[in-house]
Amino acid sequence: MALTKSIVINFRGGIVSPGYLKEVLLLAADARVESVRFGLRQQLILDVPVNRMDAFAERCITNNINFEYTKQAQPNIVSSYPAAEIFSTDSWLREGVYKDVFDLFDYTPKLQINICDNTQHFVPLFTGHINWIASPAPHFWYLYIRLPNMQSAFRWRELIYTNDIAAVSKQLEQLISKGVIKEQDLHTQLQLSLVYHAKPVEHKLQLTNFSLPYYEGFNKSGNTWWLGIYRRGEAFAVKFLLDVCDVCMQTKIGELYTTPWKSLIIKSIDGKHRALWDKILGKHRINVRHAANELNWQVESEEGLMLKRLIIRHFDKEDVRTYGLCFAVQTNTTSHLFGSIIIRKEERKNPNRLQSYNRYNILYKEDFNPNATEEILFREQIAKEYLGTYLVSLCKLFYEQDDEHTIVQPAVSDSSIEEVKVNVVYQCKYCFTIYDEAAGDEEQNIAAGTPFIALPFSYHCSTCEAEKKDLIPVNTKSLLLID
């Protein structure tokens, strides 16, 4: 029998006031909760002892604190608000605009909604079901829809005005819940049921290569500082966070920010208050300069966290560089995580099988871009002890790409997004046969100049008939033989 119950408290857009967070933490402390953690969708997760759950729930109701049990929890609205002014400075999308958008939501979404600035690399763009991405035109947004249980998304044919984001999201959610899932049907039904302001897409969505910024420690931003805090085990001590809230209120910092990397950011720290922050970090023995190899991971479970630790130890031993990559450990086959490289647990055919017999597949995204739609299988059925070795090889493949290899293909079926020709071919990992985009494949009626991403899913190796996913992008200057 479980000794605790997991609950979720959503912080819309990843924003929480120190006063509100302190209220939650004080109730958690009274319920004998010693640590809390942050989720992939910028929410707070607590494990409350079962014998104290009823009293905790009653006090939450009294204090107007909304919580939900993990399995029934509504998905939080994710936003790139934490990145504003520190990882995203050259944009019309400022903090005030985010707040205006959040205020427009008069309902609790049941679908995952992302509200992001395209100029930042900190918050994933396409991990929601309804994904809003700021366009170059002020106050107009691209909309990308990823239907539940689907991996790819399609782009809405119009840019939509800021003030209509909430209303359009609500109506789309209602239509999707009724079974309207075809793009044309959604567009027709939305226009019939809602008046909204839109304009034609004038500029193609441009996405640069992904590069996760270092988000930990003290960092200068204009005349103030910001502090990023990450915990290796993902658990934040309640006593430490209570001290964080007290210092924020003492120094008139009105907001804290949770991130999709399960970390915490505090902005607008006055230089004269650095000593206060150093004091509480020292008091609780908080290290704020972890290696970059530890910060670029998304994991969803304790099992995933253990795998991450195992792999990082191997990376440290081999002195592996992972800049420009991010990793996802997916232990739930139905989840959707953000990563350039994905370690995915194979579904057990026998649920009683010992954990030592678990096997994992290693995949990577097209061009190692975590926003890409296509996953490429690198190795399959790997025991956990050997994951590190294969991942080191995959990291080397990433760095051996041509420096000008800059294809960016987001997780959308959108012909308006530009592709850049690069000096790569696609090599079968079994027999080493090459597919060259410039030459095409006459045997399978593929015309010369056909991009690999445009090949049908039924495409296969002309020699050994391996599937399309088994053809790996390789720099023509240094073809790799993958055994």
- What pLDDT, in 10s, does the model give residues 246-292? 999 999 999 999 999 999 999 999 999 999 999 999 999 999 889 88
Q: The CATH number of 423-475 is which of 2.20.28.10, 2.60.40.10, 2.60.120.280, 3.40.190.10?
A: 2.20.28.10
Q: Does the pLDDT at position 483 exceed 50?
A: no
- Please provide residue 29's backbone torsions phi and psi, each rounded to the nearest 5 degrees: -60, -40
Domain spans of the chain?
88-200, 293-399, 423-475
| Banded pLDDT at 476 (limits 50, 70, 90) | low
DSSP for 20-87, please give it.
Answer: HHHHHHHHHHHTT--EEEE-TTS-EEEEEEGGGHHHHHHHHHHTT---EEGGGPPPPPEESGGGBTTT
Helix, strand, coil percentages for the chain (3-state, nearest 5): 30, 25, 45
In sequence order, the β-bridge partners of residue 471 are 428
Residue 71: pLDDT above 90? Answer: no
Q: Which residue, chain included where needed, has tokens 């972890």? A: 290
How much is the mean pLDDT over the chain?
88
> Residue 393: pLDDT above 80?
yes
What is the distance between the alpha carbons of residues 4 and 49, in angstroms, rounded to a whole number?
Answer: 4
Burial class (CB in 10 A: 0-12, 13-18, 19+), 94: middle
Whole-model pTM: value is 0.79
DSSP one-letter string for 344-397? EEPPPSSTTS-GGG--EEEEEEGGG-TT-S-EEEEEEEE-GGGHHHHHHHHHHH
Q: Encoding tokens for residue 156?
A: 């809405």
Whether the CB-CB separation of 469 and 427 falls below 8 Å is answered with no
Residue 217 has pLDDT above 90, yes or no: yes
The backbone torsions φ and ψ at residue 229, rounded to the nearest 5 degrees and listed phi first, read -125, 125
The residue-averaged pLDDT of 125-129 equals 92
Structure tokens of 433? 């046969």
Supply the pLDDT for residue 408. 40
Separation CA 125–CA 132 (nearest Å): 8
Distances (CA, A) of 73 to 41, 76, 110, 205, 272: 12, 9, 9, 33, 41
Amino acid making up residue 471:
L
CB proximity list for 218: less than 8 A, separation 6 or greater = 225, 226, 227, 269, 274, 277, 288
pLDDT, one tens digit per residue, over 446-475 is 888 888 877 887 888 887 788 887 787 776
Domain topology for 293-399: Sulfite Reductase Hemoprotein; domain 1 (3.30.413)
